[in-house]
Amino acid sequence: MLIAENLSKYYGGEGVLDNVSFSLGREETLAVVGPSGCGKTTLLYLLSGLTRADSGVAFLDGELIGRPTSDISIILQDYGLLPWKTVVENVALGLKIQGVFKKERMERARAQLAELGITGRDSDYPANLSGGEQQRVAIARAFVSRPRLMLLDEPFSSLDALTRERLQRTLLDVWKLRKVPFVLVTHSLEEAVVLGKRIMVMSSRPASPVAVFDNPGFGDESIRDTKGCFELLKELRHTVEALW
Ligand SMILES: Nc1ncnc2c1ncn2[C@@H]1O[C@H](COP(=O)(O)OP(=O)(O)OP(=O)(O)O)[C@@H](O)[C@H]1O
Ligand SMILES: [Mg+2]
């Protein structure tokens, strides 16, 4: 369970996040939407332990989040793969930090890549992969260390519409298998409805949550075709239009 309590952050005396509180259960996912520059990436940095809040605290399963840990995986806006490491080495990286021996690291990395639909590319370098493939590798790397929380920062925003839908499906499939709670930042309201069991709408900077929607259809592979999805999207759009 992730609990964020009154997280606030300032940069150069200006408020970026203002009293952000929410919780996320073990089998839940949270999609975060908000205007550009409002502080969404900053929120993920605080939750990952990479940046410290100026006030407020966050807990993962009762433990204070104070520094980066292999229990929390973060996928950054630009994939964050190391260009000088091969595909399989990139995925195995998280396991090295955990002290797993090389043979097991490679085996687990390959198995995780296969789960994400990437096979036969182990020795390729990230530069030789398409954006969609790189993103699959980044997701494999995030899942392979069996984290207790995943943080995803607009993971699919640079992909074409079809690849994006495929990867949303892949992420949902892996989530169903692993049930790792995740917080996903997105600019797409539709993506929020596909991937968020709950959807949190942030105000403009300094950002604070202004509305949280429940998404009862979450997990349904054909949610896009449902009336519930249509209604929720309409409600989200109205909320967002009134705020931003
Ligand atoms: N390290 C930093 N030092 C100073 N200001 C920063 C720093 N990181 C972020 N900011 C500022 O904080 C604000 C929020 O940035 P953040 O990247 O969190 O926004 P965002 O909601 O993720 O935006 P986008 O939707 O464009 O990705 C911005 O005004 C940004 O310029
Ligand atoms: Mg951002």
Domain chopping of the chain, boundaries: 2-71+148-243, 82-146
Residue 79, pLDDT above cutoff 80: no
Average pLDDT over residues 68-78: 89
The residue to mutate among 8, 17, 36, 42, having the most atoms of ligand 1 within 8 angstroms of its beta carbon, is 42
37 lines ligand 1 (CB under 6 A): yes
Question: pLDDT band at residue 47, thresholds of 50, 70 and 90?
Answer: very high
| 207: DSSP letter | B
Q: How far apart are the first and last CA of the chain?
A: 30
- Six token digits for residue 19: 């009293």
Average pLDDT, the chain: 94
Cα 60 to Cα 169: distance, rounded to the nearest angstrom: 26
R_g of the chain, CA atoms, integer Å: 18
Average pLDDT over residues 139-165: 92
What's residue 191's pLDDT? Answer: 96
Q: Provide the 3-class DSSP secondary structure of residue 149.
A: strand
Angle, vertex CA 25, rays to CA 208 and CA 77, nearest 5: 55
Q: Provide the 3-class DSSP secondary structure of residue 78.
A: coil
Helical spans, DSSP H, in the chain: 40-48, 87-97, 102-115, 131-144, 161-178, 189-195, 227-243
Cα 199 to Cα 184: distance, rounded to the nearest angstrom: 9
Q: Which atom of ligand 1 is nearest to the CA of 42?
A: 18
Q: Which of 26, 80, 28 is nearest to 212 (CA)?
A: 28
217 lines ligand 1 (CB under 6 A): no
pTM for this predicted structure: 0.94
Instruction: Give the DSSP H or E segment for 147.
Output: none
Question: pLDDT band at residue 97, thresholds of 50, 70 and 90?
Answer: confident
The matching CATH number, chosen from 1.10.3720.10, 1.10.10.10, 3.40.50.280, 3.40.50.300, for 2-71+148-243 is: 3.40.50.300
DSSP bridge pairs for 55: 8
